Amino acid sequence: MSKSKKELATLQSKSELALQSDFNEVLAIIQNARKRAYSAVNDEHINMCRLVGEYVSHKVKEGTWGEGTINQLSDFLQTQVPNKSGYSPRNLRRMRQFYEVYKVDHEFWSPLVTKLDWTQNIIIMSLDTKEERMFALTWKINTDREIIRTGIPVYV
């Protein structure tokens, strides 16, 4: 018994829908992996900034390095790490500031600051008090979670 053209078209349509659903699942796997990879890279970048900041901070506090040495370090890094920006004297000083701002209660701050990118951390770091930084960090993280959960931006 042969199937009618309408039945064949319906089967083909269902097959195409199933295939599209399969493709969307594969796309979701890729997108989730990319998010996790970005998050891991960001965690390492923020940790690198903290460690560089810690090293520079200790050298300056010991008196073995002056501000001119930070400029020399910047020149050195820019020749040794080609095609990578972020090692200007200004940014190295920001790394030092980042370490100094968050060195107290590091275990508390660490999971929060790694959820933000470097630029967001620089902005929050510029706030005057620990309370202001805490408010800004938690507000930013909670706002991002709400956007991800609902897809709707939160405005204050």
Tokens of 156: 């204050």
* Residue 89, pLDDT score: 94
**pLDDT, tens digit, 9 for 90 and up, residues 17-53:** 888 888 999 999 999 999 889 889 989 999 999 999 9
- Report the percentage of the chain scoring pLDDT > 70: 88
Half-sphere exposure of 114 (CA within 13 A, CB side): 19
Residue 55 within a domain = yes
61 or 149, which is more confident? 61
* Residue 15, pLDDT score: 80
Quick one: average pLDDT of 80-94?
89
In the chain, the amino acid numbered 6 is K
Going by the DSSP 8-state scheme, the letter that residue 105 receives in this structure is: T
Could you tell me the pTM of the whole model? 0.73
Cα–Cα distance measured from residue 46 to residue 30, given in angstroms and rounded to the nearest whole number: 24
Residue 156 within a domain = no
Residue 155 within a domain = no
Residue 91 within a domain = yes
* Domain total of the chain: 1
User: Residue 112: which residues within 8 A CB-CB, separation 6 or more?
Assistant: 137, 138, 141
Structural domain of 87: 5-150
pLDDT at 130 over 70: yes
* Residue 116, pLDDT score: 83
In the chain, the amino acid numbered 143 is T
Residue 69 within a domain = yes
**pLDDT, tens digit, 9 for 90 and up, residues 146-155:** 666 666 655 5
* Residue 53, pLDDT score: 96
